[in-house]
């Protein structure tokens, strides 16, 4: 069930109405919302419920056993069990085919007759997100940051809450669990802000991301047949396609959760207005960035090592595994490695500055933001490429200036969307669009909403395109 489908609209209206009707019976309300979340997740494949139930039960039991035990070895054993079971399930469904194929390819390179087993393993939607979310709970209990949750109902609801279940943001237990027993409140201002996020998210996904996606697919599917103009426009189009798509999902998730009565953390904050890659990762997929920092980078030693070499090593390991989290392919590992090198290089040269650091030097700030944006765009090439061969062919196309290219209407539309998206990113640092919109007169806001609904309905006629991060 996709946010951008009529099925979801009807589902959400029913959940929203029933949820508020049950506000006077909090226990029954959570039971209903949990069942609705399970229905949402099982709408494509009922078997997926088994996987999320296993992760829920494992971490619920592990959390209580960790807190109740006074023996450090037992506590560590329960923590290891949680990690092994959760990552074991994730590894089997997401990485088995990749590892088996890599081993077979390595064997063939050595002259061996190796063929990878074909188990026809499918990737469950959202498994990377809810696995990290559930796993962070046991880690927090183990490190003494959080008391174990004794209610299986509340813990199950924390893991399965449907707005952010399949594509984030990855919510920490200490951020969400305390909200469950609280009486929900929804002010007029919060409701207006939530509607803004939902409509803006739908517009970003259906109108902007899906339109750019058509052009991106044309560029990456056959890079051997395109020239430099098409290739360069294709990679800039993908940079905004993935931003509009993923941030659009996040906007809808946060808005829907707030209407139901729950707060979710932000996941994007104008990443293409960053003045360094360190800042980029504090603005892009924020929940994953901070998850990797707190549960991988810091446990590895962070920047507390005796030598800076250890800091750079920890950065590289974190980003390589962060790339692998996104997908089971060497291109994702390469993408993570490139960002690891850039982050380590910035730290080594003392260049990890933030946009606010240049607020009294606007021209230099513009130069740094422009440079980081263009470098970030280039790093998306291995991320979008379907294979190493596809990536190399696309890189070759970037320099194919002698290829005849005719300017089409689709190229002009893509170019205008890219320029418009970039302007909103940069100007949004000074004039936040949400704040400006909410200050508009009511009639003008109603007119804008009517326009967005009309455009979204018209563009929806192309069909329902799944969100990009559903693949991760």
Instruction: List the helix and strand counts (H, then E) for the chain.
Output: 20, 0
- Which residue of the set 178, 326, 360, 403 is catalytic? 326
* Alpha-carbon gap, residue 156 to 172, rounded angstroms: 14
* Alpha-carbon gap, residue 371 to 382, rounded angstroms: 19
DSSP states along 184-204: P---HHHHHHHHHHHHHHHII
Quickly count: other Cβ atoms within 10 Å of residue 356's Cβ. 10
| Inter-helix orientation angle 228-260/388-397, to 10° | 120
* Alpha-carbon gap, residue 337 to 83, rounded angstroms: 24
* Alpha-carbon gap, residue 264 to 251, rounded angstroms: 10
Q: Give the residue among 137, 143, 204 at the shortest CA–CA distance from 170.
A: 137
Asked if residues 79 and 142 have their Cβ atoms less than 8 Å apart, the reply is yes
Q: What angle do CA 325, 331, 334 make, to 5 degrees?
A: 80
Quickly count: other Cβ atoms within 10 Å of residue 279's Cβ. 23
For the chain, what's the residue count?
472
Per-residue CA distances from 170 to 267, 281, 383, 470 (Å): 9, 15, 21, 14
| 285 in catalytic set | no
Q: Which residues are the active-site residues? A: 326
């Amino acid at each position: 069930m996709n946010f951008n489908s009529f099925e979801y609209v009807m589902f959400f209206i029913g959940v929203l109405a029933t949820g508020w009707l049950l506000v006077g019976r909090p226990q029954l309300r959570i039971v209903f919302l949990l069942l609705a979340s399970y229905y949402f997740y099982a709408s494509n494949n009922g078997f997926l419920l088994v996987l999320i139930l296993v992760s829920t039960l494992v971490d619920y039991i592990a959390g209580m056993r960790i807190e109740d035990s006074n023996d450090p070895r037992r506590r560590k054993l329960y923590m290891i069990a949680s990690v092994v079971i959760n990552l074991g399930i994730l590894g089997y469904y997401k990485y088995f085919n990749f590892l088996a194929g890599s081993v077979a390819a390595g064997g063939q390179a050595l002259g061996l007759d190796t063929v990878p087993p074909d188990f026809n393993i499918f990737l469950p939607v959202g498994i990377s997100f809810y696995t990290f979310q559930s796993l962070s709970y046991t880690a927090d209990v183990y490190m003494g940051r959080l008391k174990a949750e004794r209610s299986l109902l509340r813990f199950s609801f924390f893991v399965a809450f449907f707005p952010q279940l399949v594509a984030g943001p990855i919510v920490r237990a200490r951020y969400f669990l305390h909200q469950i027993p609280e009486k929900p409140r929804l002010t007029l201002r919060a409701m207006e802000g939530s509607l803004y996020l939902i409509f803006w998210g739908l517009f970003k996904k259906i109108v902007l991301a899906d339109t750019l996606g058509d052009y991106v697919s044309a560029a990456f599917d056959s890079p051997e047949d395109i020239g430099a103009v098409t290739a360069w426009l294709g990679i800039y189009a993908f940079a905004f396609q993935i931003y509009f798509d993923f941030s659009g999902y996040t906007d809808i998730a946060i808005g829907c959760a707030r209407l139901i009565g729950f707060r979710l953390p932000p996941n994007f904050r104008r990443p293409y207005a960053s003045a360094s890659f360190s800042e980029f990762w504090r603005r892009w997929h924020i929940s994953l960035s901070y998850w990797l920092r707190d549960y991988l980078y810091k446990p590895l030693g962070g920047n507390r090592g005796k030598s800076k070499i250890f800091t750079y090593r920890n950065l590289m390991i974190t980003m390589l595994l962060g790339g692998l989290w996104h997908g089971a392919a060497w291109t994702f590992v390469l993408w993570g490695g490139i960002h690891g090198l850039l982050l380590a290089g910035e730290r080594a040269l003392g260049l990890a500055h933030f946009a606010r650091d240049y607020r009294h030097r606007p021209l230099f700030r513009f130069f740094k933001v422009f440079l980081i944006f263009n470098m970030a765009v280039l790093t998306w090439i291995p991320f979008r490429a379907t294979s190493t061969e596809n990536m190399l062919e696309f890189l070759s196309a970037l320099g194919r200036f002698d290829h005849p290219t005719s300017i089409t209407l689709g190229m002009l539309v893509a170019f205008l969307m890219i320029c418009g998206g970039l302007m909103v990113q940069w100007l949004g640092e000074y004039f936040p669009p949400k704040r400006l919109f909410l200050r508009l007169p009511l009639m003008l806001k109603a007119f804008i909403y009517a326009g967005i609904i009309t455009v979204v309905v018209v563009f929806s006629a192309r069909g329902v395109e799944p969100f990009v991060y559903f693949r991760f």
